[in-house]
């Protein structure tokens, strides 16, 4: 990839999104990071991108608010123009929510929030941004290893990500004639602040998961970021409609 590539990373204010933004920047990609309300976190990502010699800017986006996508697309177009282009090369759909609980405790509003954000929001954001995607662009949707293995109290979240994977395969066929590659990345347990930071802060949980992982530990956000950046690279230009798990061999 060259310096003229531009990526949009949703939920780039923390965790996997920040890791992806930094990894892309180290490969010469200019990065736009979005946040839902954590402007300080997004600016910290920009600082870290700049620390590795990259260029980044921040936009606000709530992917659960589909009605805002038209105005967001206009703001994105304006930022692209400031960078001397009208095209987006890489879209990383990382932003999402997880609400967990056993079957009997799942409320309708919780179900609607997860599906409305992870599936509805992702789908309509892609629909809104496809006109801006360059010929040969890349769409990378962040899923989860939980679509392969099971864990208690994760049914709604897992189902939403399984839908994202099915969406990725279908859109790969639809957008293939434009040379646009669509894939999903499925992280395993990773030390971020997702779900209250359990994988990062709970030593007992980390130890238990390490014992069930081929490589003997939970992942780090920069490892997921490197996988996303690699999937976006020319080196994997013949890969589309795939689910690529990045879990260190968790729960085999």
Catalytic residue annotation: 157
Structure tokens at 91: 């879209």
Nearest CA among 43, 2, 47, 52 for reference residue 23: 52
End-to-end CA distance of the chain: 34
Residues in the chain: 252
- Please list, in sequence order, all residues whose beta carbon lies within 8 angstroms of the beta carbon of residue 7, skipping any fewer than 6 positions away: 21, 24, 29, 30, 31, 32, 88, 89, 90, 91, 92, 232
């Amino acid at each position: 990839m060259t310096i003229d590539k531009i990526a949009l990373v949703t939920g780039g204010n923390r965790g996997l999104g920040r890791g992806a933004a930094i990894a892309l920047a180290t490969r010469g990609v200019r990065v736009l990071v979005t946040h839902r309300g954590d402007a300080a976190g997004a600016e910290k990502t920009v600082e870290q991108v700049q620390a590795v010699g990259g260029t980044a800017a921040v936009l606000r986006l709530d992917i659960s608010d589909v009605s805002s996508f038209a105005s967001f697309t206009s703001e994105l177009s304006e930022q692209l123009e400031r960078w001397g282009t009208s095209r987006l090369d890489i879209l990383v759909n990382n932003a999402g929510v997880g609400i967990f609980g056993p079957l009997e405790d799942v409320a309708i509003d919780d179900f609607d929030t997860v599906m409305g954000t992870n599936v509805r929001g992702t789908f309509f954001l892609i629909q809104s941004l496809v006109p801006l995607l360059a010929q040969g662009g890349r769409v990378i949707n962040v899923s989860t290893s939980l679509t392969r293995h099971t864990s208690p109290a994760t049914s709604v979240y897992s189902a939403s990500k399984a839908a994202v994977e099915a969406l990725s395969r279908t859109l790969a066929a639809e957008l293939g004639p434009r040379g646009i590659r669509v894939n999903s990345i499925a992280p395993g347990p990773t030390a971020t602040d997702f779900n209250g930071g359990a994988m990062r802060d709970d030593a007992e949980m980390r130890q238990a998961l390490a014992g069930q992982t081929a490589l003997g530990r939970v992942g780090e956000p920069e490892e997921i970021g490197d996988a996303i950046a690699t999937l976006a690279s020319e080196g994997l230009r013949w890969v589309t409609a795939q689910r690529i798990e990045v879990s260190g061999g968790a729960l085999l």
